[in-house]
A and B are shown apart, each in its own frame.
Chain A
Amino acid sequence: EAEVAQSPRYKITEKSQAVAFWCDPISGHATLYWYRQILGQGPELLVQFQDESVVDDSQLPKDRFSAERLKGVDSTLKIQPAELGDSAMYLCASSLAGAGSYEQYFGPGTRLTVT
């Protein structure tokens, strides 16, 4: 069964350092999402791509976070510089089309710890 791949699974970094996460969605899925999930809370959307275009990045802290999906397939989320408050699970998901009618398939996530 096709799955969303994410790497790394775990990342420990010092504050002020740069960190990057990678996601490979299910083949054929046009829509890709990055979520941040703080322990004990639900996921919060950071950015949504339709193919290579950003559809929604209203909750992305653009002073330190960036995301790209250059060829409309895999995607990278970057944080520079990392802050202590960025410690969280970063989840990638994909769907055939927008969230309105289709379920989202989630990857295993990247657990980020900033020290």
Chain B
Amino acid sequence: SQQGEEDPQALSIQEGENATMNCSYKTSINNLQWYRQNSGRGLVHLILIRSNEREKHSGRLRVTLDTSKKSSSLLITASRAADTASYFCATVQGAQKLVFGQGTRLTINP
């Protein structure tokens, strides 16, 4: 069963622009993680934000978490062609289970 829902499902922007993806979830969480997946490959962990945190930065990535709205956003600034990938949010439920959303397919046009 999928927990999170990413929005939009697909996003196409020009290189250099900022990309924003949103994730909504349904149940209480311990933390929320974002992963990137290049076409046909495994997933790569990008960032983890805990339920008591509101914002976190890592390089060109900025993640926010609003537990009252059960939502998170991932912002990629100054996008590059290499950022073209699918991005997934994943929530940690209960003790240890990681539940992924459907993903946002991001395309960066040169």
Contacts and interface: CB of A to CB of B under 8 A. Distances in A.
A and B assemble together: yes
Interface residues of A, number: 27
Given A41-B103, A42-B101, A111-B40, A98 B96 contact: yes
B43 A91 contact: yes
A61 interface: no
Contact of A103 (B4, B45, B88, B100): B45
A44 B40 CA distance: 16
B45 to A, nearest CB: 4
A25 interface: no
Count chain B CB atoms within 10 A of each CB in A89, A93, A99, A106 and give the residue with the most: A99
Nearest to B47: A103
Contacts of B75: none
B96 A56 contact: yes
A45 B42 contact: no
Q: Which 5 A-B pairs have the closest CB atoms?
A: A42-B100, A98-B96, A106-B42, A103-B45, A99-B98
Given A99-B97, A100-B92, 4 more contacts: A41-B2, A43-B43, A100-B95, A108-B42
9 contacts: A41-B102, A42-B100, A55-B96, A91-B42, A91-B43, A100-B31, A103-B45, A109-B41, A111-B40
Interface of A: 4, 31, 33, 40-45, 48, 55-56, 89, 91, 93, 98-101, 103-109, 111
Interface of B: 1-2, 4, 30-31, 33, 35, 40-45, 48, 88, 90, 92, 95-103
